[in-house]
Amino acid sequence: MSASPERREELLATAAEVFAAQGYDATTVRKIADAAGMLAGSLYYHFDSKESMLDEILSTFLDELWARYDAVLAAGLGPRETIEALVTESFREIDGQRAAVAIYQRESKHLARHARFGYLAGSQQKFEKAWLGTLERGVAAEVFRADLDIRLTYRFVRDTVWVAASWYRPGGQHSPEEIARQYLSMVLEGVALRT
């Protein structure tokens, strides 16, 4: 009935890898079991459904992410510094939880409809409030441009950060901090050469 937490985490990690590579619906419990070196039915000693594995992967990821974000938001930084810190923390999260981020990116939109994953919609709202609020604060403080549609800017910044999970591989030539630095430089200053 009960199982050791370490084994659960191991199995969740391999399940997350398979989910990220193939997509949740295309992933069968037999594929997960194969990757874990056991048979399909044995997974049900540790988890009570395929859906609950997904649930645990996503909620663990979001808990960790919001711990980072809340710390940044509570630091009382200026708007530009807040954006910089949020982007940097996001890339650190992508670095540490690549699979979970990729799953979230791919599945959260249609999962949010289901009651069990309602917290995804809640998280998305907190997300929007944090980013959009910081951007508006920056426009008011005259550190960000006022001539842009602010919601378009929000989606632009949000998406450019998180899509990176689709190509990022840990251990590459750039550290998460270096990627964050260059991304921020492009978003804030643009790619065109100043004349």
Partner DNA sequence: CTCCTTCCCTAACAAGTGTTTGGTAGGTTA
Partner DNA sequence: TAACCTACCAAACACTTGTTAGGGAAGGAG
- The least distance separating its own copies from the CB of residue 135, rounded to whole angstroms, comes to 8
Smallest gap from Cβ 177 to DNA, in A, equals 37
Question: Residue numbers of the site for its own copies (CB under 8 A)?
Answer: 21-23, 25-26, 80, 106-107, 109-110, 142-146, 148-149, 152-153, 155-157, 159-160, 163-164, 166-167, 174, 179, 182-183, 185-193
Options 43-51, 142-150, 163-171, 187-195: segment touching DNA (CB under 7 A): 43-51
Q: Is 147 exposed, middle or buried, given 0-12, 13-18 or 19+ CB atoms closer than 10 A?
A: exposed
The Cα angle at residue 108 between residues 180 and 48, in degrees rounded to 5: 120
Q: For residue 21, what are its two tokens?
A: 């590579």
Task: Out of 9, 22, 23, 42, name the contact with DNA by CB under 7 A.
Answer: 42
- Asked whether position 9 contacts DNA by CB under 7 A, the answer is no
Q: Which does 111 bind (CB under 5 to 8 A by kind): its own copies, DNA, none?
A: none
Q: What is the DSSP letter of 193?
A: P
Regarding 3 and contact with DNA (CB under 7 A), the answer is yes
Residues contacting 106, CB < 8 A, separation 6+: 20, 23, 24
Closest distance of CB 8 from DNA, Å: 9
Please compute, for residue 34, the number of CA atoms within 13 A of its CA located in the half-sphere on the CB side. 6
| Dihedral, CA of residue 15, residue 19, residue 24 and residue 30, to nearest 10 | -50
Q: Work out whether 51 is an interface residue with DNA (CB under 7 A).
A: yes
Residue 116: name its binding partner from its own copies, DNA, none (Cβ under 5 to 8 Å by kind). none
Both tokens of 5, joined, read 């937490």
Q: Does 35 bind DNA (CB under 7 A)?
A: no
